[in-house]
A and B are shown apart, each in its own frame.
Chain A
């Protein structure tokens, strides 16, 4: 990365008041300023992350005991998710009702109550205010007003819902119930991955100097996969005509893409014209990509994007949910939460850990994504106004788009949903 250049980042031309004009409504053209404008970033926090969406918080398996908590974010708003003493889940904005300080300063832990260090205002796991020091003053003098009501001064609570052990939160009272929000086209993919109890295996974090939407496009972009990530091609492991099924939901928000393992009668001929293909290399340890079938369908690669900031992933036998946390117009954190199944043998767990090499910040098949996103951010941050285009498959029939992973229809779908929510 041109690390040193970041200090001089020109945020690019910003439209007044965060309003922006998309050239069309089909999602095929995206003005560059949506990736760099602070005004638009702030509007996204309001209209998307604090708007009518469900944001992924945690796996229930991360919070197995009453009192377990985790600090995370909805958009860039700090939020804590807890398992209450009753075993339910609660989430609240991590901002003290008194002076606005961060209340919970640990990433994870277990606690019956959460006290702000500044003045020791303390809250229970639900976010209710339980204690205010010197509420009656010192020697009965200079306390809080008689009218001060603890009940009216709790932490800002979010709605919490879970589906198959995935915990989501929403600021919105209007958003549809979680299962309706996910939609019937998305549920089977989640049901398959979460068909039995899981075991949390840990998280890894990647910090990328680009706009969060570049990542949400990247995970919906089947076009780049074999062209940017050449691991499979280099080691003769996959072909671009693999059978695929890439479907969207009816609200133009989510996408679910599966690549199926298919026999290879033609001998990798589809790669003959691609410069990255090397026909002499092979892996010394091919088990790193071996699929041990654990689902009815033989899926090599499952990437399911739940708007706005969740990706559910199965690549061979490595399972993870990726959480995208925007930090600034040109920065986001990407957290991989890895898991296996509770009934995995030690050997199967070892196999999953082996395949973690494929994904994440050092992923053999994924490490290039951060660089590609930063190249876009660096390319568009200054200079004349312009827009990106996503036209692959634009004129293809819907059924063809669903079986050809090369298309860009799911990028267009993302932008249609985005434009609708943002009012652009």
Chain B
């Protein structure tokens, strides 16, 4: 019960950082060598690696954020995450494998919202001195057609 609560806290903090546009905090939810990927389910089920974002380590995540802030050009937009069904698949004292559902609504120019992405997270969470962190987070999305572009991690 306590573990489930702590994992929920981690996830709540993670989605709040993204939805509140505190992108610089996003890499800090991972271990320094943590992995983050966004992969369409059609590839995942075939065992194919190609996806939209592949960050191997916090350095690549920070580069992604700097690029998003300084280099890339896009219409102003925000996410709102809805997550559910956090399930513990396996656990040891310091490492937990979890799965949960996510739905991301994207609002563009504070005018219209659409279902942007729907899928599941498959996470490996590890205990660190600073608390639970993602060692691996894979967002496996089902609606393979990405509308126009994806800028912000989900």
Contact = CB atoms under 8 A, between A and B. Distances in A.
Chains A and B bind each other: yes
Interface of A: 1-4, 107-108, 200-209, 228, 230-231, 233-235, 276, 278, 281, 283-285, 288, 333, 336, 338, 349-350, 353-354, 356-357, 360-362, 364, 367-368, 370-371, 374
Contacts of B42: 107, 202-203
A159 to B, nearest CB: 28
Contact of A205 (B54, B71, B145, B151): B145
A371 B73 contact: yes
Contact of A209 (B53, B71, B148): B148
Interface stretch (B17-25, B57-65, B79-87, B93-101): B57-65
Q: Which of B53, B75, B146 has the most CB of A within 10 A?
A: B146
Contact of B151 (A204, A362, A374): A362
Across the A-B interface, the 4 shortest Cβ-Cβ residue pairs: A202-B50, A202-B48, A202-B43, A4-B112
B129 interface: no
B54 A234 contact: no
B59 A284 contact: yes
Contacts, number: 135
A291 to B, nearest CB: 17
Given A1-B148, A4-B111, A202-B49, A235 B60 contact: no
A247 to B, nearest CB: 29
A234 B71 contact: yes
B148 A284 contact: no
B63 A285 contact: yes
Contacts of B71: 230-231, 233-235, 276, 364
A135 B110 CA distance: 59
Contacts of B12: none
A285 B59 contact: yes
B148 A206 contact: yes
A288 B148 CA distance: 23
Contacts of B40: 202-205
B3 interface: no
Contacts of A235: 67, 71
A200 B63 contact: no
A374 B148 CA distance: 8
Nearest to B53: A362
